[in-house]
Amino acid sequence: MQRAFDYVVVGSGSAGCVLANRLSENGKYSVCLLEAGPPDRYMWIHIPIGYGKTMFHKVYNWGFYTDPDPNMLNRRLYWPRGRTLGGSSSINGLIYIRGQRADYDHWAALGNPGWDWDACLPYFRRLEHNDLGAAPTRGTGGPLWASSIRTPHPLVDAFIASGERLGVPRVDDFNNGAQEGVGYYQLTTRNGLRCSTAVAYLKPAKKRANLTIETNAHAARILFDGSRAAGVRCQRGGETFDVRASREVILSAGALQSPQLLQLSGIGPAAALRELDIPVVRDLPGVGQNLQDHLQIRLIYEVNRPITTNDQLNSLWGQARIGLQWALARSGPLAVGINQGGMFCRALGDESATPDTQFHFATLSADQAGGSVHPFSGCTYSVCQLRPASRGTVTLASRDPLAAPKIQPNYLSDELDRRTVVAAVKFARRVAQTEPMRAWMAREHRPGQDVRTDEEILRFCREYGATIFHPSGTAKMGPADDPMAVVDARLRVRGVAGLRVVDGSIMPTLVSGNTNVPIVMVAEKAADMLLEDAAAAR
């Protein structure tokens, strides 16, 4: 099988679905979207609380593991990534967050013109339909919904009130650029259903004659004519087939698999490629470097009244009740997922000019994200440092395109990160012990009252810390004089033609918060760049 298109997009995740829609929208160009996983027909993808069902799914989740991390007691950490139409936007926690103005202004200051907050804001507004209504920093009428949680929960209300008592202002909108505050999150849901990028962008475009979607098609390597990307070689079962691109190949496989595919194709650190007998197309030492992720630390408390989602899920009557709520009114716990309460604060106080810590507050508890809930009434305070200084790597384990890459996150390898997570745990404890939250707390289940000193808290973070699913930075955007830059400010891979990376890989530094919406923005902006360049080439 060999077919030719104007554009070939690898990966149908948060970025790939956007590109498939926007590049095919005017009818001028043919687009092929390649997805290694199956279609998104699994029921639990579309029910928001189904996050727990997809967390360890063998078909819809890549289920990666890191290498043993020496900074995390040599633990191998589980890293879920979406493997279906919509990618990780089909299995994530649905939190609608952009990050801070300072994040994007910093990207521009690093030598990436056009990526400051003011330049990105029109794309944030274009992509969204926000039920808070239009505003200078909000959009309506876009494909991706930002839905407010309409039914309050007494625990979340108490969490918000306690945050206010500690000096964090209550807000309804975390996405105006300032971010600091405490309140209910908005979610990427629409009428009680998940609004993934497959739903928001791909579904409306599926019937276009100029868009071809190939599922169960695993990209094995990029094909080159000299130094120009000319297509993609794919595997499906025992079959190998090529898909040609007359204009460009675009990698949107994510921060783990885009750098993996670049390296498999001969683009990356030359010495490492030669060790695996991979012919070098372009020596780019930054490919697979600069890996960043948010490390979540989960504090679990027992609640003294049976009002938590634990209680509902541990009772057949409770399960039936929340099932009926969703079936009849698209409301209740099934419609809002796991985390409802949010906070962006400065755990390090005046040392941080902007919020350095994010809270995800959940009215349930489990030993791990997506795990079985505890038998007691429970809630979870999940905290993460927003701008980690630690850097990791994604490298090849072998030349086999079906083999998982080697992932070394190097969490907590930087002193700032260690100080921040300790301060964040202390701040979470302050919230739990501040009225009105204190009145609901029966006991601290984890880490427990015997963990008190900074050293004990840090060991707890090393023992129980886990990804909050935001890997980024492994094909970073940067100027020509940055030897570790992989793409330029128009997301073109340096030193080759006809090849771009459009996903979380290109972030030079991690944004302050959840990465789904920022990646959608990157893809919206990249689509304009691609269409502008195509028009200029005519």
Active-site positions read 470
Cβ neighbours of residue 403 closer than 8 Å, sequence gap 6 or more: 397
Cβ neighbours of residue 122 closer than 8 Å, sequence gap 6 or more: none
Q: Could you write out the DSSP letters of every residue in 323-365?
A: HHHHHHHS-SHHHH-SEEEEEEE-TTGGG-SS--EEEEEES--
**Under 8 Å between Cβ of 384 and 295:** yes
CA distances from 451 to 259, 429, 456 (A): 39, 12, 5
Residue 537 phi/psi, 5° resolution? -80, -15
In 237-323, the DSSP E strands lie at: 239-251, 267-268, 282-283, 295-303
Tokens for 23, please give them: 């590049």
- Cβ count near 218 (within 10 Å): 17
Q: Is 504 annotated among the ligand-binding residues?
A: yes
CA angle 28, 24, 212 (to 5 degrees): 110
H/E/C letters for each residue in 119-157? Answer: HHHHHHHHHEEECCCCECCECCCCCEEEEECCCCCHHHH
CA distances from 32 to 14, 214, 241, 465 (A): 16, 7, 13, 39
- How far apart, in whole angstroms, are the C-alpha atoms of residue 381 and residue 386? 15
Looking at residue 329, its amino acid is A
- How far apart, in whole angstroms, are the C-alpha atoms of residue 402 and residue 398? 9
CA distances from 442 to 281, 367, 376 (A): 61, 18, 11
Cβ neighbours of residue 208 closer than 8 Å, sequence gap 6 or more: 24, 27
- Pick from 94, 194, 93, 246: which is nearest to 232 by CA? 246
- How far apart, in whole angstroms, are the C-alpha atoms of residue 226 and residue 434? 64
Residue 446: exposed, middle, or buried by beta-carbon count in 10 A (0-12, 13-18, 19+)?
Answer: middle
- Cβ count near 122 (within 10 Å): 14
**Under 8 Å between Cβ of 506 and 289:** no
Residue 162 phi/psi, 5° resolution? -70, -40
Q: Is the peptide bond before 447 cis (omega within 30 degrees of 0)?
A: yes
CA angle 48, 50, 51 (to 5 degrees): 85
Return binding residues for FAD.
504
Residues annotated within the binding site are 504
